[in-house]
């Protein structure tokens, strides 16, 4: 599991003109639309889960198992 600060995640994976609004980002984090975890009042995103998108093979490769 590779956790990344949510603000950096959205900068990395969305172009500036397609980045969701702050309100939408918070909703996505709270509703786990984006695989996330709140630690000490700050949101973090599990980038490996996001990139795997539920594909077990991709999850194993990202975890270094395959």
Helices then strands, each counted (H, E), the chain: 4, 3
pLDDT of residue 55: 66
Residue 5 and residue 42 in contact, taking contact as beta carbons nearer than 8 Å: yes
* Mean pLDDT value across the chain: 86
- pLDDT surpassing 90 at residue 37: yes
Is the overall model pTM greater than 0.95, yes or no?
no
Angle between helix axes 6-13 and 22-30 (nearest 10 degrees) is 110
């Amino acid at each position: 599991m590779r956790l990344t600060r949510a603000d950096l995640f959205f900068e990395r994976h969305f172009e500036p003109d397609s980045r969701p609004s702050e309100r939408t980002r918070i909703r996505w984090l709270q509703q786990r639309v984006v695989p996330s975890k709140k630690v000490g009042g700050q949101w973090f995103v599990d980038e490996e889960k996001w990139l795997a998108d539920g594909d077990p093979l991709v999850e194993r490769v990202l975890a270094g198992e395959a």
